[in-house]
Amino acid sequence: MEKLRSIMLACVGFALFLGLWEIGGRILGSALLAPPSAVAVDYVDLLRQGDMLRELAGSLRQMAVGFLAACIVGMPLGVAMGRSDVADAIFRPWVSMFVVTSTAALIPLFILTIGTGFMLRVTIVFLASVWYIVLTAYNGARGVSPMQVAVARSFGAGTLQIFWKVTLPAIYPFLITGARIGLVHAIRAMVLAEMFVIIGYGGLIHRSGLLVDTGPVLGLLITLMIVSLFFNWLLGEAGRRLAPWYEQQRVTL
């Protein structure tokens, strides 16, 4: 019941928002703010044209490379930092520095050094997401219950066994959470980098932004939002499927 109520409230809020947007759009006109009715028409056009989905697929593929690299580097690094004081002392200053650095500010620098191609997008996506993955894994590794480690030792488990059978499973929910946060940042960074060099999906948004009609831009943004939400949900679902204890663990984070 509680859930149904909150869903209904969300729907009411959403309908209200659409209504206000429609009214505002009619008053301001499509050049300033296309109303939802016009965006819907433009959206069907975008789908039929095929540019939107094609560019999206291409961009996401490159994003995936950067994001996977961030997971492959970030997860072990975060775990190592959480479990070893030496690794923590060496890497934490760097992580702290980079995580507060604006990725947008780095883009011009990287355009100069590695050009505007595939590597640029991969690098930017990597740098935008890896620190969140590191920090989440780090916190997870820090929080592994000493009691559970003691239990494993009590049954005669060695250091390696403790790592594989206790530390890693205990960190797992954090790795998933880190991946989810990282992915949101990765998609944002992808669009940002592409808007700088006007390629891919970000390039498409940039070019549409130059039109006198705001409908297509809004349509592109909506697709991007849906895609981000979908991947976020997908990772969460994967976490739940692979680890039924995940929800229960997550509540106690």
Partner 1 sequence: MSELETRPAGTGAPDKLEIRNVTKYYHGRGNSLPVLENFSLAVKDLEFLVLLGPSGCGKSTLLRIIDGIETCDSGQVVLDGKNVTNTTGDGRGMVFQSFELFPWRKVIDNVAFGLEVTGVGKAERLDIAREYVNLVGLSAFEHSYPHELSGGMQQRVGIARALAIKPQVLLMDEPYGALDVQTRDLLQDELLSIWERQRKTVIFVTHSIEEALYLADRIVVMSPRPGRIEQIIDVPFGRPRRDALKSDPEFLALRREIWQILKKGARV
Residue 176 CB, nearest approach to partner 1 (Å): 13
Are 237 and 193 spatial neighbours (Cβ–Cβ below 8 Å)?
no
**Closest among 77, 80, 84, 91 to 134, alpha carbons compared:** 77
Q: How far apart are the first and last CA of the chain?
A: 26
Contact residues for partner 1, defined by CB under 8 A: 147-148, 150-158, 161, 165-166, 169-170, 172, 243-245, 248-249
Q: Which is nearer to partner 1, 92 or 250 (CB)?
A: 250
Q: Which is nearer to partner 1, 6 or 248 (CB)?
A: 248
Q: Which is nearer to partner 1, 4 or 160 (CB)?
A: 160
Residue partners of 22: CB distance under 8 A and separation at least 6:
35, 36, 37
Residue 156 CB, nearest approach to partner 1 (Å): 2
Under DSSP, the state recorded for 165 is: I
Q: Which is nearer to partner 1, 84 or 145 (CB)?
A: 145
Count of C-beta atoms within a 10 Å radius of residue 58: 14
Residue 132 CB, nearest approach to partner 1 (Å): 24
DSSP per position, 35-55: -HHHHHHHHHHHHHH-HHHHH
Q: Which is nearer to partner 1, 174 or 201 (CB)?
A: 174
Residue 160 CB, nearest approach to partner 1 (Å): 10
Q: How far apart are CA 170 and CA 202, in angstroms?
A: 38
Residue 1 CB, nearest approach to partner 1 (Å): 23
**Closest among 136, 228, 135, 142 to 189, alpha carbons compared:** 228
Q: Which is nearer to partner 1, 118 or 172 (CB)?
A: 172
Residue 143 CB, nearest approach to partner 1 (Å): 13
The position carrying tokens 């790795």 is: 175
Count of C-beta atoms within a 10 Å radius of residue 212: 8
